[in-house]
Structure 1
Amino acid sequence: MLERLKTLSLIILTVLSQLCLAQQKPQYTQYVFNNYLLNPALSGIENYTDVKAGYRSQWTGLEGAPVTGYLTINAPIGKNFVRGDATAFPAGGGINPSSRLYTQQYQAAEPHHGIGLTIVTDKTGPISQTTIDATYAYHLGLTSRLNLAVGVAGGFSHNVLNLSQVTLVNSLDPIFSNLDNNQWKPDLGFGVWAYAPDYFIGLSVQQLLPQNLFITTRNNTYQNKTVPHYFLTGGFKVFLNDDITFLPSVLLKMIKPVPTTFDINMKLSFRDKLWVGGSYRRDDSFATLAGINISSFVNVGYSYDFTTSQLRTVSSGTHEIVIGILLNNRYKVTCPQHTF
């Protein structure tokens, strides 16, 4: 029993003192379904109010493994775009946005603003974090076919260490006596997003403001801080025929001092009705993905990660599901026009 208590204390101490040495923000396999989660520049990119709710259970079967839930909403502002987007379809959906014809007729979106809100909750063992950010973006057509959006996210995070889940061998441990286990911290992010009918590229950063977490002692051995998370992503379309489109994409994650990692995604879109795909995350997992556009009001995406790291011996994989709602969808489109 004593050895078990020592082990639990060591785990908690390691988590607290080494937070700055690992990815501190949640990761998503279904980010291809909602890039707005990683980049505020996508605020208002579509011609409707985009609402998404997601749930991710990572490393199922492992006690204390990360569980993430989120709700995002963003919408465009600007009459010329909302009521007269050059790429908006007539009522009923019109041209499939993954088709060759769509790319040939595409015109850059009218200049407009976008606003939004993200709420993300993430729990790992006794540590939970809720981040609430308001977002703003401005979209501008650089050429007749290329758009550029610049966005910012600002808000706060609520960080909690549940001490009732922490068992100590020594209750007088000076590290734990200096814990601030319930904190509110400011949050700031920034992003840019360039998009055309057949490709996109984006760069964003989260946690721009480094913050001390939980441990308040001045002993540098145990100080821990949040660090900026940089994301670089890009993708393009390959037309296999008039009904099937291949959409490869990549996401690079740069978080010092850990090594740069990446996701490689491959997606097959069957008109504007459904899609399937696969993903590889460096030194972590392979994943299968699928989604269906049920109507002009709702769509659903699901993914399952097959763990390839050492955690595969104690984990049965990772589940993630996302439900999308298209509000104020005046043109009755069934899938995104400006993102893929």
Structure 2
Amino acid sequence: MFKKPLLLSVLISCVSFAFAQQRPQYTQYIFNNFLLNPAVTGIENYTDVKLGYRSQWTGLEGAPVTAYFSINAPLGTNFTEGDATAFPASGGENPYSRSYLRDYRAAEPHHGIGFTLVTDKAGPIDQTNVAATYAYHLGITEKLNLAVGVSAGFNHLYLNTSLITLENQDDPALRNINNNQWKPDAGFGVWAYGGNYYVGVSAQQIIPQNQYITTGNNSNLSKTVPHYFLTAGYKLYLSDDVTLLPSALLKFIKPTPTTFDINMKMSFRDKFWIGGSFRKDDSFGVLAGFNLSSLVNVSYSYDITTSALRTVSNGSHELVLGILLNNRYKLSSPQHGW
């Protein structure tokens, strides 16, 4: 029999698996859709680096903790040295202005490459995902771009049996367990975007795996399932300096019911923004961020739990640091990530 603290950790892991998703959950994916869709790779005309940390259901022992590093960049002389989004070297006009939208035209065809490293710990289970990404962007009309992307890498799952304390230390459940595995992983996505909107579809974890962790008698403790995402966003101008950015995300992860997120961000020129989010049967979130310079931006979100865990959870915190490398036009705000 499990001791009480460990049992709580295992239950948290099971809840995370059963009611959310096998992959980590984010609130600030709306500012880094690259985490969910490889077609976003190379969408900006600079090298986009992000470092993120999320502590979910704080106050609960064994609750999920996620950290990630992501980087992606465009490839192609026509794109990086001059396209519809290429401003004069002095920085040019505010990218949120109406004239930018009026004069917008689709980007020159170009490639994008990227890399992600994500670690997620929930109770005694540690998961690490490493992936390289590639995307190709093509202007299919004068103002519409279409990108197709793929990701490929490995997923590592480790069950820390030292955290499992049993009354019977020779319990058959842990005898000869394969608790340290690497599995191949892949995903794909499509991203259509213009000057003030985007629509994307993607799939993660598409290589079927019979099990992550197995005992000697081949009983399955968990199986991988594909994760499918459909997302869209639109930019609404309240003035040349203030914009509303509503967006939504649908998640399809069998056998759990289809769920969705709804988000709203209000941006003030290219200096700072505030926003909110709603995740069905899970949480409400408040978000805020600052574009400190043409090199660094930072954002924070806090989720208020609305699920059955609300009586024992102090909510979830997420912090993201963004770095804009090779930013030759000195932009202080993304043009396509908003």
Q: Which moved more, 1:20-29 or 1:259-268?
A: 20-29
1:19-168 alignment runs, 5 A limit: 19=17, 23-168=21-166
Find out whether 1:214 has 2:233 as its counterpart: no
5+ residue gaps, structure 2, are: none
Partners of 1:71 and 1:120 within 8 A in 2: yes
Deviation at 1:10, TM superposition (A): 9.0
How many residue pairs end up in the alignment? Answer: 337
Gaps of 5+ in 1: none
Q: Is the 8 A contact 2:12 2:123 kept in 1?
A: no
C-alpha separation between the residues in 1 aligned to 2:318 and 2:7? 31
5 Å-filtered alignment, 1:196-235, equals 196-211=194-209, 212-217=211-216, 222-235=220-233
Q: Distance in 1 between matches of 2:12 and 2:297?
A: 41
Deviations 1:47-66 (A, max 9, x none): 01110000001111111000
Name the CA distance, whole Å, in 1 between partners of 2:97 and 2:186. 37
User: C-alpha displacement at 1:13, in angstroms?
Assistant: 8.6
Match in the other structure for 2:308 = 310
Residue 180 (structure 1) shift = 0.9
Q: Would you say the 8 A contact 1:139–1:150 is kept in 2? A: yes
Secondary structure of the 1:187 match is strand
1:208 alignment partner AA: I
TM-score (norm 2): 0.94
Cα-Cα RMSD = 2.1
Contact 2:70 2:116 survives alignment (8 Å): yes
Give, in whole Å, the separation in 1 of the partners of 2:43 and 2:271: 20
Give, in whole Å, the separation in 1 of the partners of 2:5 and 2:42.
48
The secondary structure found in structure 1 opposite 2:101 is: helix
* 1:294 paired residue number: 292
Q: Is the 8 A contact 2:10 2:62 kept in 1?
A: no
| C-alpha distance in 1 between matches for 2:15 and 2:261 | 28
Distance 1:57 1:9, change over 3 A: closer
How many angstroms apart in 1 are the aligned matches of 2:289 and 2:306? 24
Aligned partner of 1:188 in structure 2 is 186
Q: SS state of the match for residue 186, structure 2?
A: strand
- In structure 2, which of residues 267, 272, 276 is the aligned counterpart of residue 269 of structure 1? 267
Give 3-state SS (helix, strand or coil) of 1:296's partner: coil
Partner SS state of residue 82, structure 1: helix
| Moved beyond 6 Å, runs of 4+ | none
SS of 1:123 mapped into structure 2: strand
Q: Which residue of 2 aligns with 1:243?
A: 241
